[in-house]
Homo-oligomer: A and B are copies of this chain.
Amino acid sequence: MSDLVHLANPKDAGAIAGLLHDLHREFNEPTPPPSELAERIRLLIDSGETLVLLADDGPGGLAVLRFRPTIWSAGLECYLAELYVVPQLRGHGLGRALMEAALAEARKQGADSMEIGVDEPDVVARRLYESLGFSNREGGPAGPLMYFYELEL
């Protein structure tokens, strides 16, 4: 893992919650108070279902990975739930360092695949993911586009 990035432990839950809170405020999405997020993050990290990578000592960014058993193999599938770098540290490769560490950690945990939902206009993120080999086309560059559908219940 890069010197810039380290794997979070439950004691980092407060710092993680602060970053997640800032993330949703930046994108005008609803967020519970940081204390509530911190408690949930602590439980998820404790359970082993969620791993968080932190960049820089601030911390200045994070990647949140969630794991579950695959149906089609004996491995795990990994979902990149969040990737965030604080505004003042963008453009210095922290996002790439987080993603490279995330891929290494997912492989180490036994994941067969990593999946991400990405909005079409998020071209900076999409270019980063594509440069690492991610594709929104099924089975190769000539394959069909894959959409992410969602319904609030």
Contact = CB atoms under 8 A, between A and B. Distances in A.
Nearest to A152: B113
A146 B147 contact: yes
A131 to B, nearest CB: 11
Contact of A147 (B69, B112, B136, B151): B136
Contacts of A24: 72
Contact of A144 (B50, B107, B121, B132): B121
Interface of A: 20, 24, 30-32, 37, 40-41, 43-44, 49-50, 64, 66, 68-69, 71-74, 78, 81-82, 103, 106-107, 111-121, 126, 129, 132-136, 138, 144-153
List of 5 A-B pairs having minimum Cβ-Cβ separation, nearest first: A146-B148, A120-B145, A136-B147, A148-B148, A134-B149
